[in-house]
Amino acid sequence: MRILVVAASKHSSTTEVADLIGTELGSLGHDVRREPVETAETGDAEAVVLGSAVYMSRWMAPARDFAERNAAVLAAVPTWVFSVGLVGAEADDPLRIEEKVLDKVSPVGAAAFTGRLDSAILSLRERSVTRLTQAPEGDQRDWHAVRAWARSIDAELREHLAAGTG
């Protein structure tokens, strides 16, 4: 199946999660296209995985914009969404996405993953937020959970195709 995987990321942590999702889906036999969310076109995608880093409890604007400009396609093809955020703050809720984005996308599934915190690359404002939330420094991403979620997407797609709805 042709799958488009796109994600909005500020400091590359979410991009790396999207890359692993794409790699895992590719290893399961899918034709995966990984593109920057800012310029991605849905084209001939038969399924979409859309993700975003979460800042100040919101998805990044490029991911929200992608969902809006591709709303018709995302509602018509199986779509999964994921968020990447700080431990104890933004990563707690897999649907920490504006309701209007969820309404447009109607995702088959959603996931939240913890991210990576490197205070050396953060702005003053970002460092202040991380201190307030007491987010732990370092790479908190659970690569096994990311791979497992990608495999669950594959399983759902296979069920979808077997049911004749894909």
Q: What is the percent of the chain with per-residue pLDDT over 70, rounded to a whole number?
A: 75
**For 22-50, what is the mean pLDDT?**
96
Instruction: Determine the 3-state secondary structure of 35 from DSSP.
Output: strand
CA distances, 110 to each of 52, 106, 126, 146 (Å): 12, 10, 25, 12
Domain 2-154 is found in CATH 3.40.50.360 = yes
- Count the residues in the chain: 166
pLDDT digits (tens, 9 = 90+) for 79-122: 999 988 765 544 445 445 556 677 778 889 889 898 765 566 55
**Residue with token string 């049911």:** 163
Helices (H), the chain: 13-27, 61-69, 71-76, 99-105, 124-133, 143-162
Contact status, residue 62 vs residue 55, Cβ threshold 8 Å: no
β-bridge mates for residue 139, sequence order: 116
pTM (whole model) above 0.85: no
Shortest CA distance to 157 belongs to which of 89, 91, 80, 99?
A: 80
pLDDT tier for residue 161 given thresholds of 50, 70 and 90:
confident
